[in-house]
């Protein structure tokens, strides 16, 4: 049994490390063991050969008229005089006159404890690109490469106003003029984007509007030793949430629904996301591709509209750009709450977050909410834990007799196994009785791990004393040390392997496992400490109770 337990621990440790490494490779990150750098993209891989409404993606406007090379994206950084700087209660950003593109967007609404806590979501610099843009295709029409004129208006949301609008007008191209209007609302992370298309020519035109998010694969605020998805996603009512890795786009893989009468496209990163949400009821075309090495996009193409001379049409869409606050996302659009991605444990994680949020509503401290939720879960699983700890206690009692049997029959493994099985039968001990109850609980605690890792509510949330941000690692490493000590105590409470080498390995395991906790967010470490302390108390109580029963 002791050999099996040691082997199981070793397999678990190796499996976790290998799973983490494979997840990194699946989502385009380098292996922690081997170099797996993606090949440099050539001109042939700039745009996949999939089509949307008969138009190849390669025909959609690229970064510049001449090339989509990354270096040419960095060179024409828009001078400040060619940007409209705007500010609301939740945003501070810039709209570039080049295409009327939303080229910088900082989220400035921090917590009460940390009012200056913000993140720059959209940006366009020599080191990082992430932006939202629109334009027309179907002819030589205005797109994101054309210089727009800023129309008169304000770019500052005053205290007395609830909304603010910024409008830009394109040059006339192909007989078409475009007026693009961004409308911001107080307290909202949803921007209304109205594209007015006016036919100023003498003949009908048939343009189509595209809306896309362009991003490189730069990592942002990703906890070490923890993988969170970064990349495009497409949602429809029929196929639900479909994530697309950057590595798949680099290889030209197309595994998403091409069109639907509903849905949205998004760029997802840890804690935050952006999404184009078009109006429902018309057939939208979705696309995603690799623009150039390390630069990707995902977008929506609206249906072509025939516009008669001197007539105009409006294409209205919403652009979400903000934190993945689950209760707010589900009110914006169907399925948008899936941007907060729990993976395969979603069915368990969502109720756990609901409970966590309700507890926080009473005590207004996310740290104590984590503690109380962990206590609640341990209480629910107490009967299973009790069965597991009783089995461990019984195994600990017969460990000396097991050692004697191994020593007596060390030259005859068959007789050793027969004697051990006889001992288990006579003492009514199941050597695997302590494993099944633990296995049943694993999905719940894995789900809680993802809840704490994925919840932006932890960002900037204080607990007590030195813990001012549960999403960051403990600055003084106090919690990781307590975590290591709790794992050591748990190991000492378990049956001691008769083999000295196995015993040393079991004592080394807590150190090996606890090393990564020095880099985990404080909220995650707090959860594991509370769970371990409760397990220690349960195990000690049950062991002592069984000892008293045996004496009586």
Please state, in angstroms and rounded to a whole number, the distance separating the CA atoms of residues 511 and 429.
30
Place of tokens 């196994």: 417
Q: How confident is the model at residue 389 (pLDDT cuts 50, 70, 90)?
A: low
Q: What is the pTM of this model?
A: 0.77
Q: Is the model's pLDDT at 546 over the cut of 90?
A: no
Residues 6+ apart with CB under 8 A from 492: none
Q: Helix (H, G, I), strand (E, B), or coil: what is residue 226?
A: coil
Q: Is the model's pLDDT at 171 over the cut of 90?
A: yes
Tell me the pLDDT tens digit for each residue of 89-128: 999 999 999 999 999 999 986 544 454 567 889 998 888 9
Among the residues of 364-455, which ranges form H helices?
Answer: 366-380, 382-408, 413-427, 436-454
Please indicate whether residue 67 or residue 513 has the higher confidence score (pLDDT). 513
**Beta-ladder partners of 242:** 234
pLDDT reported for residue 521: 85
Q: How confident is the model at residue 498 (pLDDT cuts 50, 70, 90)?
A: low
Q: Is the model's pLDDT at 34 over the cut of 50?
A: no
Place of tokens 């959609």: 60
pLDDT reported for residue 516: 74
Q: Is the model's pLDDT at 223 over the cut of 80?
A: no
Residue 362 neighbours by CB distance under 10 Å = 10
Q: What DSSP designation does 482 have?
A: H
In this prediction, residues 187-203 reach a mean pLDDT of 95
Short-list 283, 279, 282, 289, CA closest to 256: 289
Short-list 263, 329, 272, 311, CA closest to 119: 272
Instruction: Identify the architecture of domain 38-341 in CATH.
Output: Distorted Sandwich (2.70)
Q: Is the model's pLDDT at 52 over the cut of 50?
A: no
Tell me the pLDDT tens digit for each residue of 291-317: 887 899 999 999 988 999 999 999 999
pLDDT reported for residue 446: 83
Domain boundaries of the chain, sorted by first residue = 1-37, 38-341, 354-551
């Amino acid at each position: 049994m002791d050999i099996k337990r040691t082997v199981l621990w070793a397999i678990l440790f190796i499996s976790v490390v290998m799973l983490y490494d494979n997840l990194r490779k699946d989502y385009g990150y380098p292996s922690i063991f081997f170099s797996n750098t993606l090949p440099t993209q050539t001109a042939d891989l700039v745009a996949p050969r999939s089509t949307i409404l008969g138009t190849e993606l390669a025909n959609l406007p690229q970064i510049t008229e001449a090339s989509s090379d990354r270096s040419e994206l960095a060179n024409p950084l828009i001078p400040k005089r060619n940007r409209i700087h705007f500010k609301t209660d939740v945003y501070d950003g810039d709209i570039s006159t080049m295409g009327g593109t939303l080229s910088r967007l900082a989220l400035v609404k921090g917590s009460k404890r940390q009012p200056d806590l913000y993140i720059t979501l959209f940006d366009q610099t020599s080191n990082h690109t992430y932006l939202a843009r629109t334009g027309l295709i179907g002819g030589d029409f205005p797109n994101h490469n054309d210089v727009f004129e800023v129309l008169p208006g304000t770019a500052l949301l005053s205290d007395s106003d609830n909304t603010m609008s910024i409008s830009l007008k394109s040059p006339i191209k192909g007989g078409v003029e475009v007026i693009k209007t961004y409308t911001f609302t107080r307290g909202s992370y949803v921007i209304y984007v109205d594209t007015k298309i006016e036919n100023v020519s003498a003949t009908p035109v048939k343009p189509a509007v595209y809306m896309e998010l362009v991003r490189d694969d730069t990592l942002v605020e990703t906890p070490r030793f923890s993988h969170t998805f970064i990349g495009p996603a497409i949602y429809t009512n029929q196929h639900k949430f479909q994530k697309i890795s950057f590595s798949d786009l680099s290889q030209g893989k197309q595994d998403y629904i091409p069109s639907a009468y509903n849905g949205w496209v998004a760029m997802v990163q840890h804690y935050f996301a952006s999404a184009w949400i078009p109006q429902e009821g018309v057939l939208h075309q979705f696309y995603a591709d690799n623009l150039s090495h390390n630069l990707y996009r995902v977008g929506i193409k609206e249906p072509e509209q025939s516009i008669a001379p001197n007539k105009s049409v409006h294409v209205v869409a919403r652009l979400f750009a903000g934190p993945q606050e689950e209760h707010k996302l589900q009110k914006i659009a169907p399925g948008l709450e899936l941007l907060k991605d729990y993976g395969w444990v979603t069915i368990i994680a969502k109720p756990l977050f609901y409970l966590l949020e309700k507890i926080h509503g009473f005590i207004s401290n996310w740290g104590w909410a984590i503690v109380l939720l962990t206590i609640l879960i341990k209480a629910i699983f107490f009967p299973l834990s009790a069965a597991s700890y009783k089995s461990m206690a019984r195994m600990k009692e017969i460990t000396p007799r097991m050692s004697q049997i191994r020593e007596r029959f060390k030259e005859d493994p068959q007789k050793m196994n027969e004697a051990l099985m006889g001992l288990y039968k006579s003492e009514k001990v199941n050597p695997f009785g302590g494993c099944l109850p633990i296995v049943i609980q694993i999905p719940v605690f894995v789900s809680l791990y993802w809840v704490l890792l994925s919840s932006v509510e932890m960002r900037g949330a204080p607990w007590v004393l030195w813990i001012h941000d549960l999403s960051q690692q403990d600055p003084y490493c106090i919690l990781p040390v307590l975590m290591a000590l709790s794992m050591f105590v748990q190991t000492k409470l378990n049956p001691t392997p008769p083999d000295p080498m196995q015993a040393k390995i079991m004592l080394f395991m807590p150190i090996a496992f606890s090393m990564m906790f020095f880099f985990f967010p404080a909220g995650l470490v707090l959860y594991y400490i509370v769970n371990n302390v409760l397990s220690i108390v349960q195990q000690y109580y049950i062991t002592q109770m069984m000892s008293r029963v045996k004496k009586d």
